[in-house]
A = this chain, B = another copy of it.
Amino acid sequence: MILDETDKKILRLLQVDAHLTLKDIANKINLSLTPVHDRVKRLEKEGIIEKYVSILNKKKLGNNLMVYCQVTLVKQTYDVSAGFNQSIMNMPEVVECNFISGSFDYMLKIILPDMESYHNFHQKKLSILPEVSLINSFFIISEVKSTTVLPI
């Protein structure tokens, strides 16, 4: 699927604010409702637009700690890896998990209320997994940038 400049303009706008109305978008890119509507629907159908979500404020929800965890598995076989993946999917505090090539196997990003919660998570949920051999934690002191916007 080929995106023309109009598609890209729409995507750039919707990435930043999904609550813009079709009319808002139409005005901003000098078009009528119809093409904007049709294009958005097409972008949704094609899966270019995956979903619309609300971004909540971490701190106001009491989540004041973010941690990167480098995890090394006991073995690098498919079974061990699949078992680990499965466990991670059911951990809401793990907001990011990526399989890595390097001196460890996974990079995780964890969001939690405080250090006590992290201690608990580390001891009772992560290190307890049979697939996990080593955990290396990096505590985030300050968030400089965090965006869902992709370059288009």
Contact = CB atoms under 8 A, between A and B. Distances in A.
A83 B55 CA distance: 28
A126 to B, nearest CB: 14
A1 B61 CA distance: 10
Copies in the complex: 2
Contact of A151 (B92, B99, B100): B92
A46 B60 CA distance: 9
Contacts of A57: 47-50
A67 to B, nearest CB: 10
A146 interface: yes
B49 A54 contact: yes
A19 B54 CA distance: 9
The 4 nearest A-B residue pairs measured at CB? A92-B151, A97-B145, A14-B54, A97-B144
